[in-house]
Amino acid sequence: MPLLEHFIGKSQLSFMIAGMRGEEGQFFIDKFMEVASTIQTMPKTKETDG
């Protein structure tokens, strides 16, 4: 979760964590994984051409 804390606000992050415990928990788990994957693969500052 530390990675996501830099990109998702505290209240939104706590809502998503609470959602993981509910009926639609798998949806929120999948979203966490999707967002984390996007963050890990996006280019870093000054890493792209032009």
Averaged over 2-9, what is the pLDDT? 84
pLDDT at 50: 62
pLDDT at 18: 92
3-state SS track over the chain: CHHHHCCCCHHHHHHHHHHHCCCCHHHHHHHHHHHHHHHHHCCCCCCCCC
pLDDT tens, position by position, 9-40: 899 889 888 999 999 999 989 988 999 999 89
At 50, list the tokens.
């032009």
**Where do the domains of the chain lie?**
2-39
Note the pTM of the prediction, 2 decimals. 0.67
pLDDT confidence band for 3 (50 / 70 / 90): confident
